Amino acid sequence: MTKKNKIDLDVFLIPKSGIDKTIKAFQSEMGKGLKGKDSSLKMIPTYVSRPTGNEKGDFIALDLGGTNFRILQLELKGQGRIGASKIMKFALKKKHITGSADVFFGFIADCVKSFLKENRTGSNRRTALGFTFSFPVKQKSVSSGSLVCWTKGFKVRGVIGNDVVELLRHALLKKGVTNVDVSALANDTVGTLVARSYSDRNCDIGVIIGTGTNACYPECIKNIVKLPGHAKGSGEMIINIEWGNFNKLGLTSYDIALDKASDNPGKQILEKMVSGMYLGRLAGLVLKERLKIKGEFKSEYMSVIEGDNTKNLARTEAILKKTGMTSPGMDDKKFTKNVCRIVSRRAARLSAACIAAIIKKMDLDLSRKHTVAIDGSVYEKHRTFKVDIIACLKDAFGRKSSRIKIVLAKDGSGKGAAIIAAVAAG
C-alpha cells in the first residue's frame, strides 16, 4: 500500500473530537428546524404520538415505499402484545408509477379490495387503515398530507401538491370499498418507532439505514415553535427529522466528487455518506484511485468483503473480477477490504453521532433508558454496523452508554402504520 493511499484512507477516520463536533452541529440544526429557521434538518411535525401499548383491535396497514408494497392486518391485544398478522404483497408496474393519479391509486384500491376479500370475514365491520407513504410529504394532520415531490423513479401525474390520503379515499370509494377508514398517514421511520414503542416504552428513536436514511423521535409540543397555532402543553409529537439532508459535516475529496456527480448536488449529504444507495459508489471512487476496476462497485459487496476470511481472500477476488479486474493480487484484495471497512465504519459512526445528538436533546445527562429501533438493509445485513454504532455511543457517553439499547425493528413500518391507525382511531 502506498503512502498516498494511506493518507487518503485516514481522512475517513472520525476521532472522538469529531463525534463531539457532529453532535453539537446536529443539535444546533435540530433547534433551528423546530423554530422554522433555515436548517438542513426539516424537523417535520407528524401529528402522531407514541402508543400507550393498551390499544386493542384489528387494524389494516398499507405500506407503500417503492414499487413493491404490502397490505397487512394486525391484531393488537393491549399490554404491548401483538397477535397474528396477515400480509399480502403487491407490485406496481411501470404503467402505474408513470401514469395518472387515477390509475395509480385505482390499482392500490384494487389491491386493498383483494386483500379484504381474501382475509376478512365480517365485511360490514369498519376498520381503520394506516397509510405508510414513504415519499416527501408536507403533513397537515395525522390523516392528511400533500406530496412535495416524487422520488425513486415515480412520476405519477396529478399527485404533487395534493393530499395523498384524500386521493386514496376517493379511489377506495370508487372501487366500492366503503368499510375502511384511512385514519393515519406516516412515513417508514415513524412507523418503525411506533411499532417498537407499542411493546417497549423505552423506545424513543426510530431510524432507517437502508437505501436511504432518516430518523424520528418524540418532541415536547411546547418546543415545536413552528407548529401552526403553537400550543403550550405537556404532550408530545413525533418529529420526522429528515436527517439524510444534514450537511454540517467534514467532506473528503471523495465525498465532494460523489456529490457533484449525483442527481441532487448539495443535498442529502449525510445520506450520501451513510446509505446503501451511495456507500458502494463512495468505496468505488477510492478503489479506482489504485485499482483498475471498471464496473459498478455495489454497496452489498462491502459486507461480504469485510467478512471475507477465506484463504487468499477468494470472495474478495471474485467480486473484484466482477468489476473488471482480471487478476487482483493479494495487496489489491487487502486494500479493498481495508477500504470497505473504513468507509462503512465512518457511516456507522456518523449514524451513531446523530443518534447521540437526539438522545442528548431528550435526556442531556442520560438519566434514563433509551431504545433505538433501527430498520433497513444496510443496518440489518452489514455485519459490523451495530458493533460500530455501539462503540461510537460508548465514545460519546462512556459507561452510561449501557443505558442505550439498539434493536433491529424489521418490517416495522407496516406494523407501525397499523398501530398509528389505532392511536388515531382513539
Same domain, 374 and 326: yes
3-state SS, residue 239 = strand
Same domain, 35 and 78: no
User: Per-residue pLDDT averaged across 333-360, rounded?
Assistant: 97
pTM for the model: 0.90
- Residue 35: active-site member: no
Contacts of 81 by beta carbon, 8 Å cutoff, 6+ apart: 199
Task: Report the run of H or E that residue 245 belongs to, with start and end.
Answer: none
From 163, 186, 209, the end of a domain falls on 186
Q: Which one-letter DSSP state was computed for residue 63?
A: E
Query: Does a structural domain hold residue 27?
Result: yes
Over 60: is that where the pLDDT of 1 sits? no
Query: Does a structural domain hold residue 333?
Result: yes
- Residue 188: active-site member: yes
pLDDT tens-digit series, residues 239-271: 999 999 999 999 999 999 999 999 889 999 999
pLDDT for residue 113? 93
pLDDT for residue 84? 76
Contacts of 348 by beta carbon, 8 Å cutoff, 6+ apart: 384, 385, 388, 389, 392
pLDDT tens-digit series, residues 363-385: 999 999 999 999 999 999 998 99
Strand order in the sheet with 81-91: 81-91, 68-78, 56-64, 127-133, 180-186
pLDDT for residue 4? 42
pLDDT for residue 191? 92
Domain interval for residue 75: 56-186
Same domain, 347 and 370: yes
Task: Give residue 66's pLDDT band: very low, low, confident or very high (50, 70, 90).
Answer: confident
Alpha-helical segments (H) within 200-329: 253-261, 269-274, 279-288, 299-306, 314-322
Q: Which one-letter DSSP state was computed for residue 243?
A: G
Among 163, 188, 204, 255, the one annotated catalytic: 188
Alpha-carbon span 214 to 188, nearest angstrom = 9
Query: Does a structural domain hold residue 73?
Result: yes
pLDDT for residue 228? 76
Give the chain's domain count. Answer: 2
Same domain, 229 and 378: yes
Query: Does a structural domain hold residue 344?
Result: yes
Query: Does a structural domain hold residue 157?
Result: yes
Sign of CA dihedral 172, 90, 277, 361: positive
Query: CB of 240 within 8 A of CB of 52?
Result: no
Same domain, 282 and 367: yes
The residue with greater pLDDT, 390 or 117, is 390
Same domain, 71 and 37: no
Same domain, 300 and 374: yes
CATH number, position 362: 3.40.367.20
Average pLDDT, the chain: 91
Over 80: is that where the pLDDT of 20 sits? yes
Query: Does a structural domain hold residue 425?
Result: no
Same domain, 158 and 250: no
Among 6, 138, 152, 294, the one annotated catalytic: 152
Angstrom distances, CA of residue 248 to CA of 26, 227, 261, 285, 350: 7, 25, 20, 22, 11
Alpha-carbon span 180 to 164, nearest angstrom = 16
Same domain, 316 and 203: yes
Angstrom distances, CA of residue 161 to CA of 41, 144, 157, 167: 21, 12, 11, 11
Query: Does a structural domain hold residue 424?
Result: no
Query: CB of 216 within 8 A of CB of 240?
Result: yes
pLDDT tens-digit series, residues 139-198: 888 999 999 888 777 889 999 999 999 999 999 999 999 999 999 998 889 999 999 999
pLDDT tens-digit series, residues 273-329: 999 999 999 999 999 989 988 889 999 999 999 999 999 999 999 999 999 888 899
User: Per-residue pLDDT averaged across 385-403, rounded?
Assistant: 96
pLDDT tens-digit series, residues 212-249: 899 999 999 999 999 876 556 678 999 999 999 999 99
pLDDT tens-digit series, residues 89-130: 999 999 999 999 999 999 999 999 999 988 874 456 788 999
pLDDT for residue 6? 52
Alpha-carbon span 277 to 270, nearest angstrom = 12
pLDDT for residue 232? 60
CATH number, position 158: 3.30.420.40
φ and ψ of 74, to 5 deg: -125, 135
Same domain, 61 and 40: no
Same domain, 299 and 396: yes
φ and ψ of 81, to 5 deg: -100, 135
Query: Does a structural domain hold residue 194?
Result: no
Same domain, 245 and 350: yes
Contacts of 68 by beta carbon, 8 Å cutoff, 6+ apart: 89, 90, 91, 92
Q: Which residue has the cell 423505552?
A: 202
pLDDT for residue 354? 98
